[in-house]
Amino acid sequence: MALTVRQLCDIPHLRTRIHAGHSGAERVITWAHSIEMERPWEWLEEGNLLMTVGLGIPAGAEAQVEYIESLARAGVSGIAVGEDMQAPPLTEAMIAAADEHGLPLLITAYEVPFIQLSRAVGASDQQREHRRLVDAARVYDRVRAHMVRGATPEELIAGLGDELECRLWVCANESGLPVFAASEPPPPAVHSAFGAAVRERGGTLPGVLRLDAGGATVIVVPVPSRRAASMLAIPAPGARVPAYAVLQHAATVVALEVERRWAGIEEQRRLGSETLAALIDGRLSPLLAARQADGHGLGQGPFVLLALGREGGWSGNGWLHHTLADRGIGNLLLRREDIVMCLLPGEDAAVQQVTDLLDEGMRVGVSDLFAELDGVQAALREAHWALEAAGPEQRVVRYGEAQPSRLGARTLDEARALVERVLGPVIAYDAEHGTELVASLTAFLDCNRSWQRASAQLFVHKQTLVYRMQRVEALTGLRLSDTSAVVELWLALRALQMVRG
């Protein structure tokens, strides 16, 4: 028979007494854990006894009350504190909270090692441990039956839920959405609570986490896979809460399916990057490109290309590919330097899915729609051009929608016309005489018309740069001392970048 708190304290050699929370003395102890972390309830199951030397107990009265209340919500049977060890003084408020919640606060003599308490609890709970082994065996038997039938991952998860008498979801940590596209998403309250918990902990979750979602208790168990994912469980009304060890067995089973899906998506991402690179570089025929794009879920068009920039650069783009795959959106991704290019179906919903994932450091340029994949190079110029116009106030810019003062030209035809009108004579002069007037003008304006910095950047004498700018003024009829002329020249240079890609 399992021990109660009172029976544990009645064992003479354990030298443990109830200090507060006497009304909970008949609580049954299912197991005993020694934990010194700040949130021990995130590592404990219902019925567990927390044993601590006091390192994790906060010092202030208000924090100690919250400590007791959190352990009570987790269903802990009691707290055994080592006497004369590292615990701060136990405040009157903490003692009152233990009494209010009927949570036994025990004091264990300094000379008694916690292993003695653990052994006493373990020796009394053989029947419960046998039941856990039977439950774990039933989990693996369910897996075997599903493998024989060739069941889908979604069917396996549903079957495990039936076995555990729980509603189960397997969700990606970064999005909160099901890892397997055919699965029903969790209710909004569960999705919101899970997302908030992941963000609060920086993406790292404890061994077991209990969340309150609209009055329902959600048990979150990490899935041990390369994909950061978790298994969410809500016990059925009236059903007993599965033992944590049994939930871990179920999460391990699910991890095999998550790993299989992760490997398949990674292979698709690699092949997709190669396809998009070949398209952009002109190494792939439109017919073959259309077949490969269709195989990646992009359909037959129209298409749209996104250019994504991020402050501080990218550490990787795999998360984006996995998230889009979770949502059933075909895509091709390619990272070059600090820009990630994303080819998507030409649907507003697909673009919206990507922009919904933005954080404060991301900017997006969106090309016009194009019907055939041989238009991807022009779309890339448009997406880059729109990305350059994006900023803190407008982080998503669609080509042709930005303010003219930022873009100058909204289409390739407008850009060509602007270049020809403003820079045509300069470009012709460079071509005829082998000079570098356009490059010199670009450096001069990029350096905010600093003669010294621009000449150093061009590795020429200052007087040489002065002569070149005088030649530009003579060819264009625009004076570099005139602000409006400088703006016109700068916009023409940006348009030239767009025309030349």
Assign 314 a pLDDT band (cuts: 50, 70, 90).
low
pLDDT score for 384: 84
For the stretch 277-309, pLDDT in tens is 888 888 888 788 888 888 888 888 789 999 988
Which residue type occupies 95? Answer: I
> Measured on CA atoms in the order 269, 274, 278, 284, is the torsion positive or negative?
negative
Assign 136 a pLDDT band (cuts: 50, 70, 90).
low
Q: In whole numbers, what is the pLDDT of the chain averaged over residues?
A: 85
Distance of CA 160 to the CA centre of its chain: 26
> Measured on CA atoms in the order 53, 83, 64, 241, is the torsion positive or negative?
positive
For the stretch 435-450, pLDDT in tens is 999 999 999 999 989 9
Q: How buried is 357 (Cβ within 10 angstroms: 0-12 exposed, 13-18 middle, 19+ buried)? A: middle
Which domains are seen in the chain, by residue range? Answer: 5-124 (3.40.1390.20), 127-260 (3.30.450.40), 284-404 (3.30.70.270), 412-500 (1.10.10.2840)
pLDDT score for 131: 60
Which residue type occupies 237? Answer: P
In 299-410, which residue ranges form alpha helices assigned H by DSSP? 318-326, 348-355, 376-389, 404-407
For the stretch 149-159, pLDDT in tens is 777 888 888 88
CB 204 within 8 A of CB 179: no
In 330-375, which residue ranges form alpha helices assigned H by DSSP? 348-355
Query: Residue 206 — φ and ψ, nearest 5°?
Result: -75, 180
For the stretch 26-36, pLDDT in tens is 999 988 999 99
pLDDT score for 311: 74
Average pLDDT of the segment spanning 217-232: 88
In angstroms, the first-to-last Cα distance of the chain is 77
Question: Which of 333, 332, 331, 296 minimizes the C-alpha distance to 314?
Answer: 333
Assign 406 a pLDDT band (cuts: 50, 70, 90).
very low
Report which of residues 18 and 408 the model is more confident about. Answer: 18
Whole-prediction pTM value? Answer: 0.54
Token pair recorded at residue 62: 């208000």
Which residue type occupies 393? Answer: E
Percent of the chain with pLDDT over 90: 30
CB 48 within 8 A of CB 80: no
Does residue 4 carry a pLDDT above 70? Answer: yes
CB 14 within 8 A of CB 117: yes
Cα–Cα distance, 20 to 99 (Å, whole number): 6
Question: Which of 500, 440, 433, 498 minimizes the C-alpha distance to 469?
Answer: 440
pLDDT score for 430: 93
For the stretch 46-92, pLDDT in tens is 889 999 999 999 999 999 999 999 999 989 999 999 999 999 999 99
Assign 130 a pLDDT band (cuts: 50, 70, 90).
low
pLDDT score for 241: 79
Does residue 405 carry a pLDDT above 60? Answer: no
pLDDT score for 210: 85
Does residue 404 carry a pLDDT above 60? Answer: no
pLDDT score for 328: 79
Does residue 122 carry a pLDDT above 50? Answer: yes
Average pLDDT of the segment spanning 171-186: 82
Could you give the C-alpha distances from 59 to 19, 68, 93, 97, 105, in angstroms and in order?
A: 18, 13, 12, 15, 16
Parallel, antiparallel, or unpaired for β 166-172 and 209-213?
Answer: unpaired
Most confident residue range from 173-177, 216-220, 281-285, 430-434: 430-434
Average pLDDT of the segment spanning 361-390: 84
In terms of residues, how long is the chain?
501
For the stretch 459-481, pLDDT in tens is 999 999 999 999 999 999 999 98
CB 150 within 8 A of CB 233: no
Does residue 222 carry a pLDDT above 70? Answer: yes
pLDDT score for 126: 59
Parallel, antiparallel, or unpaired for β 396-398 and 362-366?
Answer: parallel
Which residue type occupies 109? Answer: A
Task: Identify the DSSP state of 399.
Answer: T
State the CB neighbour count (10 A cutoff) for residue 189: 15
CB 107 within 8 A of CB 77: no
Query: Residue 42 — φ and ψ, nearest 5°?
Result: -80, -5
